[in-house]
């Protein structure tokens, strides 16, 4: 068995709309324990756990937390629930199936860092998540897990929902912060970083839903114990959104260090209709596309360096042999062309040109020059853009140039004969 159930342990066992169900299932128990600890103790446990952010960038959580804890004055916690990366749905499940676990994680972060207000930023498309979280926040207020002097302590904390309105870019932390402020989601120049100047230019700690959900777990079993789960490079469990042409699509919680093949074969039940695996895209539209031969790789960020990318938020999209590489790349590029915010020039003007070039491959009218332009442009976008969108949007192209070079060359050869196709 390669599953380890912790973040998903209450899924389908409690009524997500009932705080009492949550409380009966050990809910807010860790938070109560945390209320007896001091900031250093809590952050120290988190440091020992070696947990990294689950939103995609994989930055050590405790480093961000302790620099945020050192900031004084008004400061904010933001839960990034703008899950928009194609192929990912873990945050939706976390919010819809165990909403108070999210709130508990936020509370632990707020208490340990001295923040007094928080926002959960949920993408507008997630209507159900919004309704459930809204209800849960109300219940938490009613039961004094939110509000003034929580559970009789000196700790007070306000939590508010903010809805997105259809913009993938708002998953980027500064774009999200701008959106919370009621502005278009266009990122800001760093430095300063959000922990220094975030929402309303106040220090802001921003984490992914799954990251927050890990905190009750860490503090329940202790950082040391937690660090034993996973691999030498990444600790804890990871929620994997497994989709595409597999028999058992779904959300799986696995310890880091499992191989991609294990997830696809054992949990996913292999490819549908007895077909072969053609390609696998990791992380989502912003992730690498790899051939079957690389599937024995562990799921952790360190190993993914060879793709010049990361595991991302944990999507595994399996494509059977019948799909054409360039059709998939076209879908990816249409996505980014639609979602680029328009702020920085290589991203704004680059994606439309990448899309044009990929269309030539799809239509069998690509030349060697088109290939060279594509490769050069993809590298420039990857290297020079302002935020994570453009820095990662080219991963599917750059990785396939590396692992599917022959398909590019063949398409160029075929184009010679199919001109006018």
Instruction: Give residues 307-366 in contact with another protein (rule: CB under 8 A).
Output: 315, 317-320, 323, 327-328, 331-332, 334-335, 337-346, 348-353, 356
CA distance 115 to 373: 48
Chosen residue from 17, 38, 127, 156 binding another protein by CB under 8 A: 127
Chosen residue from 56, 58, 99, 185 binding another protein by CB under 8 A: 185
What x-and-dash track marks residues 157-176 binding another protein by CB under 8 A? -----xxxxxxx--------
DSSP structure class, residue 318: E
Does 85 sit near another protein (CB under 8 A)?
A: yes
CA distance 38 to 114: 11
Q: How far is CA 208 from CA 284, 353, 375, in A?
A: 16, 32, 32
CB 206 within 8 A of CB 80: yes
Whether omega before 192 lies within 30 degrees of 0, making that bond cis, reads: yes
Does 208 sit near another protein (CB under 8 A)?
A: no
Reference 397, options 364, 372, 367, 375; nearest CA is: 375
DSSP structure class, residue 204: E
Interface of this chain with another protein, residues 27 to 66, rule: CB under 8 A: none
DSSP secondary structure letters along 133-152: HHHHHHHHHHTTSSBSSGGG
To another protein, the closest distance from the beta carbon of 369 in angstroms equals 8
Does 384 sit near another protein (CB under 8 A)?
A: yes
Instruction: Provide Rg for the chain, Cα atoms.
Output: 22
Interface of this chain with another protein, residues 186 to 205, rule: CB under 8 A: 186, 189-191, 200
Chosen residue from 16, 55, 58, 84 binding another protein by CB under 8 A: 84
Does 184 sit near another protein (CB under 8 A)?
A: yes
The SS3 of residue 120 is: strand
- In the bound state with another protein, the residue whose beta carbon lies nearer, of 222 and 342, is 342
Chosen residue from 250, 269, 270, 291 binding another protein by CB under 8 A: 250
To another protein, the closest distance from the beta carbon of 353 in angstroms equals 5
- In the bound state with another protein, the residue whose beta carbon lies nearer, of 21 and 308, is 308
């Amino acid at each position: 068995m390669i599953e380890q159930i912790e973040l998903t342990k209450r899924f389908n066992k409690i009524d997500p709309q009932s705080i009492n169900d949550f409380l009966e299932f050990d809910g807010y128990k860790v938070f109560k324990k945390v209320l007896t600890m001091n900031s250093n103790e809590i952050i120290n446990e988190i440091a020992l756990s070696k947990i990294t952010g689950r939103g995609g960038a994989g930055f050590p959580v405790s480093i961000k937390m302790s620099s945020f804890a050192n900031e004084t004055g008004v400061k904010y916690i933001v839960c990034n629930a703008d899950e928009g990366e194609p192929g990912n749905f873990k945050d939706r499940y976390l919010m819809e199936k165990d909403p108070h676990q999210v709130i508990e994680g936020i509370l632990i972060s707020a208490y340990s860092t001295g923040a007094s207000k928080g926002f959960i930023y949920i993408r507008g498309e997630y209507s159900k998540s919004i309704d459930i979280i809204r209800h849960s926040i109300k219940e938490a207020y009613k039961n004094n897990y939110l509000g003034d002097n929580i559970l009789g302590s000196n700790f007070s904390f306000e939590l508010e929902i903010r809805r997105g309105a259809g913009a993938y870019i708002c998953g980027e932390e500064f774009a999200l912060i701008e959106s919370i402020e009621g502005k278009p989601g266009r990122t800001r120049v760093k430095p300063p970083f959000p922990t220094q100047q975030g929402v309303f230019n106040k220090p802001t700690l921003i984490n992914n839903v799954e990251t927050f959900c890990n905190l009750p777990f860490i503090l329940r079993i202790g950082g040391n114990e937690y660090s034993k789960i996973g691999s030498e490079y990444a600790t804890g469990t990871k929620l994997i959104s497994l989709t595409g042409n597999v028999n058992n699509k779904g959300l799986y919680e696995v310890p880091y260090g499992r191989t991609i093949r294990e997830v696809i074969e054992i949990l996913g039940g292999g490819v549908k209709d007895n077909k072969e695996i053609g390609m696998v895209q990791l992380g989502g539209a912003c992730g690498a596309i790899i051939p079957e031969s690389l599937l024995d790789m562990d799921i952790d960020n360190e190993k993914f360096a060879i793709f010049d990318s990361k595991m991302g938020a944990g999507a595994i999209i399996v494509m059977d042999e019948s799909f054409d590489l360039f059709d998939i790349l076209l879908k990816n590029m249409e996505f980014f062309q639609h979602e680029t915010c328009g702020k920085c020039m290589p991203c704004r003007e680059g994606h439309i040109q990448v899309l044009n070039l990929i269309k030539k491959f799809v239509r069998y009218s690509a030349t060697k020059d088109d290939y060279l332009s594509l490769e050069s442009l993809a590298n420039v976008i990857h290297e020079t853009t302002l935020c994570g969108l453009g820095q990662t949007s080219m991963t599917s192209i750059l990785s396939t140039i590396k692992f599917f070079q022959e398909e590019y060359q063949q398409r160029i050869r075929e184009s010679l004969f199919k001109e006018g196709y």
